[in-house]
Chains A and B, each alone.
Chain A
Amino acid sequence: MMNKTKAMRKVIALLLGGIVCLPAIAHAEKERKSPLTDAPVIRKRLELRDKRFEIGIGAGVTISQDFYNAMLLMPKLAYHFNDWLSLAVVGGLNVLPDWKSSFNNDVYDALNRKDQAGAVANRKSPSAADARATMNHINYVAMGQVEFIPLSGKIAILSSLFSYFDFYILGGGGIVNLAAKSAQPGTCQRGDATKPICKAVVGNQILINAGVGAHAFLNRWFALNLELHDLIYKNNASGRSVLGNLSSEDNQPITTDRDMEWTNNFVFNLNLQFFFPTKPKISR
């Protein structure tokens, strides 16, 4: 009887122990999580953009333009709402409006040889001067862009120079002003003024601005800013018929606004940008 009582007491003690211990063990498991849980991936990071203004100027160059390349003087002003989103306005004034592409020169030279060989009036191709007169070029651009900055980090150059940088994508809109030597030379005109043989596209066009960019910070308030823009706007760079419609009057081509089409115009620019206030915040 005595042994039975002792055995019963042991069982009760073990059961009691188990009931009390289980929640405690579960609680311990819960608390045994990594101390790095919830830590940001980068700590004590310089928030080089958060609530800061960015102002600067630089130079841009067009890539693969048909007839005229452009060298743009490009001021830029931006405000960073936080470390990953900003709003910027960018301008671009073409300081080399007469910078001809090699294709422009090839066309001119070939037509010029024809000009020297015989009378222009008796042939279908335009004179070299007329052909060049209606080729347009960028005069200036003015655009706004939203910049989304998902990537930021640092780079070691030659294991001795360290620089902070970021990559971003940009999108927005604006206007491009196009110019030509002569919007409509005399040889382009015909009786019906609404149906010229050729007509340069000049004046303002609405553009869509898309691209990518990067900042490379040389210190906490100064950065090199690289951008590649795709300026998408309607244009007919040659000022000559694209659709190939012919006039019943003289069987010569007709050039109208319908000959314009959406074109991609790439601009690469390098800016020197200053950040204000000059002291950035530092993350936890």
Chain B
Amino acid sequence: MKRLALGLFVILASVSVPRVSPAQEPEAPAADDTGGEKVPAAPADTGPTAGPEIDLSDLGTSEPADTTPGKKAGSSGGTGESGAPRKAWEDIVVVPRKAFLKKYRLELAPFTGITLNDPLIRHYSFGGDLNFYVTDVLSIGVEGQYFIKELSERESLVGAQYYLVPTLNKLKYHYALAFGYVPGYGKFGLFNKWIVHWDLTFALGVGMIRTEIIPRAFGDKSFTNDNIVGHVGMGVRLFVLDWLTLGLTFRDYMYNDAFENAGRKSTDTIEQVKKDSQNHQSQFVQNIMMFFSVGLYIPPSFTYRTPR
């Protein structure tokens, strides 16, 4: 009979335990000393406890998140300022870390681009960047691209409307040494459901661009120019995975180019035409281009060096 009583006691105890558990304090996420693990989809507080904002974090009328030690999250049975019942997640403060580290990583970024500022001729570009990040915000690298030209409708109308033939050069290829700087990084909520991290990039470079004249008269020979080119750029980069980014960049390529000499005669040799063009038909050119790129990072993962 004693055994029966003991058995019933165990049964009653086992029934009551699970009903007590939910009232206990929820287990906090395990502390991560190495920081290599990510907390999936943790909500971010943007209130005063979330970051050192200077301009906007002084919320004034807002109720700061209560982080008083010893105060249990289980007190979520209370009510908020508005009188609505408080939810458990409102008592948990989460400050996500920087989502992506670049220091000592190599970025291989194939890209495609298009020229924006010439109404007569458009160039499509295919190429890539190879950058090494010396710090998380500074990089040094090389870039190269090959161009394919397309004459615009306006170019074809110049002849029909004005009986003129435009003097144009096409771009052949370009390579450069480039320096990158990341002055800012941020995050945004997509429909307040997902957090996407991104950064702002600046670029400065110097290199060489090869151009070729498009002769005004059909059948005339053309010549090429190798010009020193400098560029400045600005863009944004979205972090998709630990090793994958998407980028949108604008760059302004500036150089001096020689166009086909206006006084070219059919009897002139191409060497003479080139010399005359360089002497009389040189012009400072700015090519503003827009690029889409995909960044692949090596090594494909990274480790946080500071504790969470």
CB neighbours (8 Å) of A244 from chain B are 160
* Cβ contact within 8 Å between B44 and A43: yes
The 0/1 profile, CB within 8 Å of B marked 1, for residues 102-139 of chain A is 01001100110000000000011110000100000000
CB neighbours (8 Å) of A153 from chain B are 186-189, 195-196
* Cβ contact within 8 Å between B189 and A155: no
What is the CB-to-nearest-CB distance from A37 to chain B, in angstroms, rounded to a whole number? 8
* Closest chain A residue, CB of each to CB of B191: A150
In the assembled complex, the Cα of A63 lies from the Cα of B87 at a distance in Å of 51
* Closest chain B residue, CB of each to CB of A255: B161
In the assembled complex, the Cα of A161 lies from the Cα of B54 at a distance in Å of 7
Is B119 interfacial (CB 8 A cutoff)? yes
What is the CB-to-nearest-CB distance from A261 to chain B, in angstroms, rounded to a whole number? 9
Q: A35-B73, A64-B117, A101-B119 given as contacts; is B160 within 8 A of A40 (CB)?
A: no
Q: A46-B56, A46-B59, A155-B185 given as contacts; is B157 within 8 A of A17 (CB)?
A: no
CB neighbours (8 Å) of A20 from chain B are 11, 14-15
Is A163 interfacial (CB 8 A cutoff)? yes
Q: How many residues of A contact B (CB 8 A)?
A: 73
* Cβ contact within 8 Å between B53 and A162: yes
Within 8 A of A (CB), among B162-215: 162-164, 166-167, 183-196, 200
* Cβ contact within 8 Å between B166 and A39: no
CB neighbours (8 Å) of B3 from chain A are 6, 9-10
Is A217 interfacial (CB 8 A cutoff)? yes
Is A284 interfacial (CB 8 A cutoff)? yes
Is A28 interfacial (CB 8 A cutoff)? yes
In the assembled complex, the Cα of A107 lies from the Cα of B26 at a distance in Å of 75
* Cβ contact within 8 Å between B43 and A156: no
* Cβ contact within 8 Å between B8 and A162: no
A-B contact pairs, 19 of them (CB 8 A): A36-B43, A39-B43, A42-B46, A42-B195, A44-B62, A45-B189, A45-B192, A123-B163, A125-B162, A131-B162, A154-B56, A155-B184, A157-B184, A158-B184, A161-B55, A162-B57, A220-B56, A240-B157, A244-B160
